[in-house]
Amino acid sequence: MPLTVPSSMQQKPLNRYYYGQPIQFTNMSYKTNPLVLIPLTLWAWTFYVLFIGVSFPFQVIIFLLTYPFDKKRQISGRIFRQVIVFANHFNPCWNFSVHKYDQVMKQPPNPKTIVVCNHSSLSDPILCSMVPFEMKFLTKSTVFNIPVFGWLQRLAGDVGIVRTEKDSIKNAMTKCKRWIDIGMPVIFFPEGTRSADDELLPFKDGAFRLAIETGADVLPLALAGTAAAIRKGGAMMGFSKGLITVGKPIPTSGMTMDDLQTLKETARQQIIELLKEIRPLSDTLVLKKPETKKTE
């Protein structure tokens, strides 16, 4: 049944916009009604903050106990990501899962692997963390400044980068190479930023250049359904059924930099095919900005 608001609230027209669409407070599906989404969003963010905060001292203790023998930070990394995944189960807006999970479990990646995945939302790392193997994330350095969450991400071994600074890019690639050299996969979002309309953006060269330099496999991942979870530029959550699936590894042994564009296009095409498979199953709501009519 569509949700409505009291007539007293309907007396004055509200000039508000939600994801570029005019808000209609009557005859509206609960999935798009701000009166539903605002309290659910507040609940979800509050729970994330409290749960991660409570887990912080335990994760620090685990890091200190395992650091002497766990050079890959396998244990601290997985615990950090599983805490996030567990907390996500209490988010009433999001239903995230791994497509063909049993099949993914039977095909663990080569330890020397660079993972590449499309990027639509701030929620993408949560969905990526559901994949049943540890990998270090290449992420914006500003994330590390977030109290508790950023500190834990640093302890987990994730790599920060400022994409507009050459020294930062060089330093980040060096750190990623170190992880790959000791057999720890690293995940890149090769579009370089989140897509505003859920369409695949052009890929940058960094991940594929590093794969050729290190001889690492390139493993494509594809995720769908997160574009409506948190739209770019906002913090409001939306209802979303997110799915992630794992593709087939692309060996780079014997490749040179002359093969970079071919490697990049091969990975991109594989992600496109994976998206064709899971997008019809994601059952997500994607709201786009209305087209503006050209005036003659």
Q: What would the pLDDT profile of 108-144 be if each residue is shown by its tens digit?
A: 899 999 999 999 889 999 999 999 999 999 999 999 9
Quick one: pLDDT at residue 232? Answer: 75
Average of per-residue pLDDT values in the chain: 86
Average pLDDT rounded to a whole number, residues 79-94? 94
Q: Is residue 139 part of a domain?
A: yes
Quick one: pLDDT at residue 252? Answer: 96
SS3 category, 245: strand
Most confident of 1-5, 19-23, 43-47, 199-203: 43-47
Quick one: pLDDT at residue 32? Answer: 76
Model confidence band, residue 16 (pLDDT cutoffs 50, 70, 90): very low
DSSP assignment string, 8-75 = HHHSS----EETTEE---SSB-TTT-HHHHHHHHHHHHHHHHHHHHHHHHHHHHHHHHHTTT-TT-HH
Beta bridge mates, 140: 161
Quick one: pLDDT at residue 11? Answer: 35
Q: Is residue 295 part of a domain?
A: no
Q: Is residue 65 part of a domain?
A: yes
E-strand ranges in the chain read 17-18, 21-22, 94-98, 113-117, 136-140, 159-161, 186-188, 217-224, 240-246
Average pLDDT rounded to a whole number, residues 3-29? 40
Average pLDDT rounded to a whole number, residues 87-103? 93
Q: Which domain holds residue 97?
A: 7-282
Average pLDDT rounded to a whole number, residues 274-287? 77
Q: Return the higher-pLDDT residue of 285 and 275.
A: 275
Average pLDDT rounded to a whole number, residues 151-158? 96
Q: Looking at the 3D structure of the chain, how many domains does it have?
A: 1
Q: Is residue 157 part of a domain?
A: yes
Q: Is residue 293 part of a domain?
A: no
Q: Is residue 124 part of a domain?
A: yes
Average pLDDT rounded to a whole number, residues 26-51? 83
Q: What CATH number is associated with residue 252?
A: 3.40.1130
Q: Is residue 276 part of a domain?
A: yes
Q: Is residue 234 part of a domain?
A: yes
Q: Among the listed ranges 59-73, 167-181, 208-222, 277-291, which one has the minimum average pLDDT value?
A: 277-291
